[in-house]
Structure formats: C-alpha cells, structure tokens
A and B are shown apart, each in its own frame.
Chain A
Amino acid sequence: MTSEKESRVPIMAEGSCLLRKMEISVAEAEKRTGKNAVNMQETYTVYLIETRPADSVTEGHNPVPDSLWRRYSEFELLRNYLLVTYPFIVIPPLPEKRAEFVWHKLSADNMDPDFVERRRIGLENFLLRVASHPVLSSDKIFFLFLTEENGWKEAVFETGFLAKSDSRLKALNATFRVKNPDKRFSELKHYSDELQSVTSQLLRVRARVADRLYGVYKVHGNYGRVFSEWSAIEKEMGDGLQSAGHHMDAYAASVDDILEEEEHYADQLKEYLFYAEAVKAVCRKHELLQYELETASQDLASKKQQQEELAAGTVRTFSFKGMTSKLFGQETPEQREAKLKVLEEQIKEGEEELQKEFVKNAWKDIERFKEQKDHDLREALMSYAVMQISMCKKGIQVWTNAKECFSKM
C-alpha cells in the first residue's frame, strides 16, 4: 500500500504537505439504505476513510486508524468547495459518477461490486492527490472532511462558498468574449480540449478492443469441448487431444484477469480526461476575470468620456448615466474626478489581482500539473506495456503446452 502512495506523491511538492504527516486510505465500501431528502427509501454506498499519523507504524506498533464514513455526494461537495475556493488551482477530479466507456462484460450498474471497488480506489486516489498538493493540502475544510464525520457539512456551508459558487457558475456558463485573450491561457485551453478529445476517443476504442479480445479468447474455449468429445473416439490420438483441450480451456479463461487489469489503465486515462476538464475550469476562470476587468476598463473609459463631454458642454452620445446626473444634480468636477480616481484604483487593483495572484498562482500550479501529468501518463503507458508483455507471455505458455500435447497425438 505505502509504495503505491509514495509513487503518487508528486516529484515537486512545495511547502508542507498533509500526506507527509498523515496516512490516508479509503479502506472499504458498504451499502446503506436510508431516507433521502424527499423522504424516499434509497440505497447508496458509503466509503470508509481511514487516517493515521504517518510515523505511527514503526517497530511493532500498529495503532488502529481513525475512521469515518462518507458517501460520494460528500466527496462532490468537498470538490465543489475546493473549485470555488481555489479557482487558480487545477483541482484533482473525482472518479466518474456513472460507469462510462464500458465494454459488454463490464457492468454499467453503480451498485456492481467491481464498479464500487474501482470507485473506492478512485476516491482514495482523489484524497491522496489533494493531500499531496502544496496548496490544497493545508485547507481546513479538507482536513475536517478526513477527520470530522459530523458537523463537516455545516462547516462547509459556513464558508459561504455556495454564494460564490452560484454566481461563478452563472458567469462561467454565460457566453462572453475576451478582447485580448492571454496567449498562454488560450493555448492551454486548446491543449485541454485536445486532451479531452483524444482521451475520450481512446477510451471508447479501447473498450471496443477489449470486447473483441474477449470474443477471441472465449471462442477458443469451444475447442476444449470438441477435442474432448473427439478424443473419445480415438485410440492413440485421444490423450494428446484431451490434454490440449484443457489448455484451450485455460486459454479462454485467462482473458478475464487480463481485461480486469486493463481496467486500471483505463481508469488512469479517465483521470486525465477529467483533469483536462479541471484545467479548462482554471482557464475559464481566468477568462472571466479578464472579462470583468475589460468590462470595468470599458466602464472607466466611457465615464472619462462622459466627464469630458460634460466639461466641454457637449453631449455627443446619449448616456443614461448622463441623464441621471442631469436629473439628480450635477456633480462637481472634483467629485467626478474623485469618483474616477476610485474607479481607476479599483481597476488597478483588479489588474493586480489578475496579474499577480491569479496568473502567478495558476501558472505555478499548471506547471506542477504538467509535470505530474507527464510523469503519471508515462507510468501508465509503461504499466500498459508491461500488461501486454504479460499477456503475450501467458499466450506463448499456453500454446506451447498445447503444441506439446498435439505433438504427442
């Protein structure tokens, strides 16, 4: 277990990282039934989160970990909180809500034990990613998620993130166009789109490949039976045929394990499919900020223009503001200037915010993400190659055995 976790710790982890201090795992999954929000019976799965100080397992000590149960919706809540609170961070994705990219033998049912098991692993992976993130790992709400079973939900809502979330979602869903898009972010968004597209295609085709491979292996099982029947009418050939048939059965059966292992590879691809979405979210947030800044600048420009017009006594364009100021009394030029100054300050602050905080932090995290992605995907490809090699070796073994049996016919 630990070696797996260690391999998930990114190469560069700045600052204190929770994972260094604490062992985290999603140990089990259980079915529960209860009444939901509309007072209807429902069945759902809960996951056991276990935590333990990192240095507690030493020299014979094996203390019982602290634990609590959480369901998928709570993970979602946590993630939404992180999304709103750290808009400049690429937030690790959750495992898929519903089974997608399934090949025919794989169940699309959320209650299917294999699906639940893969989800358990995915949720653990999510927690480990957050816990090893230089920024996210020090979040209080995250810590409470791992340690406070009750009262956690209230704490989340108390942060007021929902209010921000609503307006943010609204803004993000609206279509807007930025006048001077930041080249780096445009390129990044373009990359994310491509990554999404290629990984989803890959996952779809891989599922079809798995389906076909399954078919090829399973049909060979029929040889087992017919060789057995045939051997019954043969004298000298019988034994060889019979034993070869057994090997054919073994061959057919071997595909189940092979494909189960390959699902892990698919899960790794899926994680980055969803990660691409998370990167896009950062890009969009940046776009939104820039848009707001541009709108504010435009506002300032038109206000300046108004001031000039009023000062010069010429009203070139009709403006509602101009009308109201006429209706409600004119401001003194000093007052107006002061107002403009405030606006200028606000815009400057906005710019600073945009430039310094957001872009700097975002770009830092994006670099971190890129390294992580390159590392993880390279590893994923490696483990995929290793799986293929293993499959080939098994194939050679089985057919060599069968060949020997045939040669003794």
Chain B
Amino acid sequence: MSAGNANSLTSSGQQSIEEVSHPLSAEESVLSSPDTANAAISLAEKDLSLLNGTPVDTSSPASSSSLVNRLQLDDDLNGETHDLFVSVDDPKKHVSTMETYITYRVTTKTTRTEFDLPEYSLRRRYQDFDWLRNKLEESQPTHLVPPLPEKFVMKGVVDRFSEEFVETRRKALDKFLKRVADHPVLSFNENFNVFLTAKDLNSYKKQGLALLTKMSESVKNVTGGYKLRSRPLEFAAMLDYLDVFTQKLGTIDRIAQRIIKEQSEYLMELRDYGPLYSSWAAFEGELQKPLKSVSECVTSCATALEELTDDMSEDFLPVLREYVLYIESMKNVLKKRDQVQAEYEAKLEAIVVRKEEKIGVPMDVEKCQDRMECFNADLKADWERWQNNKRQDFRQLLTGMAEKNIQYYEKCLAAWDTIIPLLQKKEDMNVDTN
C-alpha cells in the first residue's frame, strides 16, 4: 500500500491487504477530517461496532447518519467541509509519432492532510480520467460515481481537435472531477488522490495495486443470478423516477435539437435577407441611408442568433446528455444493490430450509446482511446527494438557457433601437414610435 508515490496513509506499514483497514474506516476519519461532523461519526462508530466485536472495516464511516450531517453542511456553500478544490483547464494538443492527443491541466488546492502539498498542478489526458473512473467504480461499488463525457467519437463526424469539442469535453471533465471532490466518500479515495498528485501516473497504473476494500471485494464477488424477492419501496420508487426522468430528458434533448435546427434555418434565411436591403440602397437616393441601416441591423441580429445557437449546442445539450449517462450509472448501482439483497435473501432462505446450525446465525449470512444494509445506506445517502445536485444543475442549466435567450433579444433590441433615429425624417418628428 505504501508504494511509490502513495502518501499520507503511512501508518499502516507493511500489511497485507486483508488486514489493512479501509482508509476511510472509522478510526482514520476521526484523524483526518475537520471535525464538525465528529459527533456524528462517533455515533456511526458505535453503530458499526456490531457483530462479533471485530473492528469494522467493511463500511465507510460516511454512512447514513454522518453523511446526512455532512450533506447539511455541504448545502451551506460557505461550509467548512469544502477543503478540496479541483479544476480542469488549459487544454493542449500533443503530437507524437504514434498519436495525437489532448491533455488538460488539473489543479488541486487543499488543506487535507492526506495530501503532502497544499497545491498541485499537473497534466492529464482523457485516458487518465477514464482510468480514475473505473478505479472508483471498482473500489466504491456502493457509491454513485459521476459520469465522464463520451469516450468514443465518430471520427468522420466530429473533429476531436476542434475548439468547440475540446472545450465541451473540458467542461465535462471539470464537472466530473468537481463532483468527485465534493463527494464525502469518493474524494478520500486513494486513486483519486493519486490522480491529483502523481507525477507519473502511468507507472502507478501499471503497478495495478488496487486498493480494494473488503466491501468492494465482496461486492465484486456477489454472484449474480439470485432473483430479487421484493424491492423495498424506496428503491423501487428510485427506479421508477429514473425511468420517467430518462424519458423526459430524452424529450428535452430532442426539442433542443429541433430548436437548434430551426434556428439554423432561420439564420440562413436572415443571411439572404439582410443583403437585399443593401442592394436596394445601392440604387436609391434619399432611401439609401435608411435601407442600409436596416441591412446592417438584420445582419447584427443574425450574428446574435448564431451566438445563441452555438451556446445551445455547446453548453446546453452536453449537460443534458451527461445526465443521461449519470442516470445509467445510478441504475447500475441500483442493480448491484438488488443483487446484494437477492444474495442475502437466498442465503437466508437456504438456512431456513436446511434448518442448519442452531448455533447463532452463520457468518456468511451475517456478512451478506451487513453488505446489504451498508449498501442501502450508502445508496440512500448518495441518492439524496444526487437529487440535490441534480436540482442545482438543472436550475443552473435552465436559467442559463433563459439568460442566453434574453441576451439574444437584448442584442437585437439594441440594434433596432439604434437605427430608429436614422429612419426618422428630420422634418417629420411626428412619427409614432411605440
């Protein structure tokens, strides 16, 4: 575990993975996190010290209660829990004989003690983000990992190196990283730390020492194929919600695309329309100035429209699509949860059927139950978190869309307002201007 550039978690020394406590296990978190949630955590500690008195190393300390408290603090934008700031910017093209690719600058600012330095700045490429996401999903299967922008783009259709594409991707990567940084569990993940700090990420990747927690290992080993008896209402409701929500997002996406199309065609006609007034002005005398000014006005409006349409394509649609991916991730997590529950139920039933071992409940079943309950708790917490973020994100997205439209109309209004005095005849001041 204390390999190469791994830092901060040095106390574990040379131990086998099984013995290593989860970096976020109850004991450690007491040391590392600024302790506004301390009371809650100790409570959680107590809760988790069940079963055989063994030190709890399966669940994350940020389980239901503590997480709830944290969430409440997170809602306050000035809350102290924001001790890790990340950003993705400055895309640059790299050309080598083998390939051409883009890197992004990843900047970290933090006061957390898991980090050796308060600031980091290094370059990462999409592959690295992809690696990080896979690692997070592997190591935190009970949590919802934010989505990445699409990996593959059709080479003929989209220019991977165009400014618009790169900028759209950068924004999505920035969002991804920020979401991870804001997550009370994911942000403490070792892989995340390495991603933000390691100078040579590739060699780290090659080492392949996955920091699997007991939980993740066990979840990985959940055999599928167990049939779920009945899904608890709250999770069923989540799935229903996600289904409808996906539908609505799809509809909104189609509408937005349609609007962009209509606006583009409108733009094309305007580009024909404006110059006609100019050609008319060319053979007029007194009307020359008014006609020319109308021509310029129409052209200004066309430019404003183009800006509006570009914004919709570059900002609005990608965010919508990202949420569709988010929903897919969420659904997968829900599926995993179902599997965990199904396994538990099956094993429990098996015992009842076999009427074995009246000496307490076997470890196996207890473990399953643990797993399920922790999963449920994590998921519920993440769901709440996700709902809140979704609300914020869409509020921002839609107000942004409205704002862009307002700006478009304001630009046009200004253009037409300017030419009103040019259209007025000097002698004739009785013109009715609404």
Given known A399-B409, A400-B406, contact A385–B269 (CB-CB < 8 A): no
Given known A229-B248, A386-B434, A390-B434, contact A399–B283 (CB-CB < 8 A): no
The minimal Cβ–Cβ distance linking A4 to chain B, given in whole angstroms, is 11
Q: Evaluate contact between A215 and B265: CB separation under 8 angstroms.
A: yes
| B255 touches A (CB below 8 Å) | yes
Given known A202-B280, A209-B266, contact A382–B255 (CB-CB < 8 A): no
Q: Evaluate contact between B276 and A201: CB separation under 8 angstroms.
A: yes
Chain B residues in contact with chain A, CB under 8 A? 241, 244-245, 248, 251-252, 255, 258-259, 262-263, 265-266, 268-270, 272-273, 276-277, 279-280, 283, 285-287, 290-291, 294, 297, 391, 394-395, 398-399, 401-403, 405-406, 408-410, 412-413, 416-417, 419-420, 423-425, 431-434
Within 8 A of B (CB), among A197-214: 198-199, 201-202, 205-206, 208-209, 211-213
Query: 5 nearest interchain CB pairs?
Result: A403-B402, A212-B266, A392-B413, A395-B409, A406-B398
Q: Evaluate contact between A409 and B406: CB separation under 8 angstroms.
A: no
The minimal Cβ–Cβ distance linking B337 to chain A, given in whole angstroms, is 21
Q: Evaluate contact between B266 and A406: CB separation under 8 angstroms.
A: no
Interface residues on A, range: 35 or more
Besides the known contacts A205-B276, A229-B248, A396-B409, 6 further A-B residue pairs in the complex with CB atoms under 8 A apart: A202-B276, A223-B255, A378-B423, A382-B431, A385-B294, A389-B416
Nearest CB in chain B to that of A388: its residue:
B416
Within 8 A of B (CB), among A301-325: none
| A230 touches B (CB below 8 Å) | yes
Compute how far the CA of A215 lies from the CA of B280 in the bound complex, rounded to whole angstroms.
28
Q: Evaluate contact between A377 and B287: CB separation under 8 angstroms.
A: yes
Q: Evaluate contact between B423 and A215: CB separation under 8 angstroms.
A: no
Residues of B within 8 A of A205 (CB): 269, 272-273, 276
Residues of B within 8 A of A215 (CB): 262, 265-266
Chain A residues in contact with chain B, CB under 8 A? 191, 194-195, 198-199, 201-202, 205-206, 208-209, 211-213, 215-216, 219-220, 222-223, 226, 229-230, 233, 236-237, 240, 244, 374-375, 377-379, 381-382, 384-386, 388-390, 392-393, 395-396, 399-400, 402-403, 406-407, 409
The minimal Cβ–Cβ distance linking B108 to chain A, given in whole angstroms, is 31
The minimal Cβ–Cβ distance linking B303 to chain A, given in whole angstroms, is 15
Q: Evaluate contact between B405 and A395: CB separation under 8 angstroms.
A: yes
Compute how far the CA of A237 lies from the CA of B402 in the bound complex, rounded to whole angstroms.
16
Residues of A within 8 A of B294 (CB): 381, 384-385
Residues of A within 8 A of B251 (CB): 222, 226
Given known A219-B259, A236-B391, A406-B398, contact A399–B406 (CB-CB < 8 A): yes
Given known A202-B276, A388-B412, contact A374–B291 (CB-CB < 8 A): no
Nearest CB in chain B to that of A374: its residue:
B286
The minimal Cβ–Cβ distance linking B75 to chain A, given in whole angstroms, is 13
Q: Evaluate contact between B277 and A202: CB separation under 8 angstroms.
A: yes
Residues of B within 8 A of A209 (CB): 266, 269-270, 273
Instruction: Name which of A202, A206, A219 has the most chain B CB atoms within 10 A of its CB.
Output: A219
Nearest CB in chain B to that of A207: its residue:
B269
The minimal Cβ–Cβ distance linking B280 to chain A, given in whole angstroms, is 5
Residues of B within 8 A of A407 (CB): 395, 399
